[in-house]
A and B are shown apart, each in its own frame.
Chain A
Amino acid sequence: MNLTLKIWRQNGSSDKGRMVTYRVEDVSPDMSFLEMLDVLNERLILEGDDPVAFDHDCREGICGMCGMVINGVAHGEQKLTTTCQLHMRHFKDGDVVTIEPWRAAAFPVVKDLVVDRSAFDRIIQAGGFISVPAGSAPEAHSVPVPKAAADAAFDAATCIGCGACVAACPNGSASLFTAAKITHLSLLPQGQPERESRARAMVEQMDAEGFGGCTNTGECTAVCPKGIPLDTIAQMNADYLKAASK
Chain B
Amino acid sequence: MAVTGAVLVLFLIGHMLGNLKIFLGADSFNHYADWLRTVGSPALPNRTLLTITEIVLVVCVVLHMWAAVSLARRAAKARPVKYAAKRKSQANGYAAQTMRYGGVIIVLFVVWHLLDMTFGTVNPKGGDATPYDRMIAGFQPDRWWVALFYLVAMVMIGLHLRHGLWSAFQSLGLTRRPRVRGLLQKTAVAVSAVLVLGFVAAPVCILIGVVK
Contact = CB atoms under 8 A, between A and B. Distances in A.
Interface of A: 6, 8, 19, 69, 71-73, 77, 98, 100, 103-106, 168, 170-173, 210-219, 221-223, 229-231, 233-241
Contacts of B70: 213
13 contacts: A6-B84, A104-B78, A105-B77, A210-B78, A213-B74, A215-B99, A218-B91, A221-B91, A223-B90, A233-B170, A234-B169, A234-B170, A234-B173
A219 B90 contact: yes
Nearest to B86: A72
B167 A216 contact: yes
Contact residues on B (Cβ < 8 Å of other chain), bracket? 35 or more
Interface of B: 70-71, 74-75, 77-91, 93, 96-97, 99, 163, 166-167, 169-178, 181
Contact of B78 (A173, A221, A238): A173
A103 B82 CA distance: 7
Contacts of B71: 171, 212-213, 215
A168 B83 CA distance: 10
Among A214, A221, A234, residue most surrounded by chain B Cβ atoms (within 10 Å):
A234
B159 to A, nearest CB: 13
A211 B71 CA distance: 11
Contacts of B81: 103
B96 A216 contact: yes
What are the 3 tightest A-B residue pairs by CB atom distance, in nearest-first order? Answer: A238-B173, A172-B78, A212-B78
B88 A77 contact: yes
A170 B89 CA distance: 9
Given A71-B88, A210-B77, A217 B96 contact: yes
A170 B85 contact: no
Nearest to A240: B173
A230 B93 CA distance: 14
A231 B96 contact: no
Nearest to A219: B91
Contact of B178 (A104, A222, A231, A235): A231
Given A105-B79, A238-B176, 4 more contacts: A170-B87, A212-B74, A213-B74, A241-B172
Nearest to B168: A216
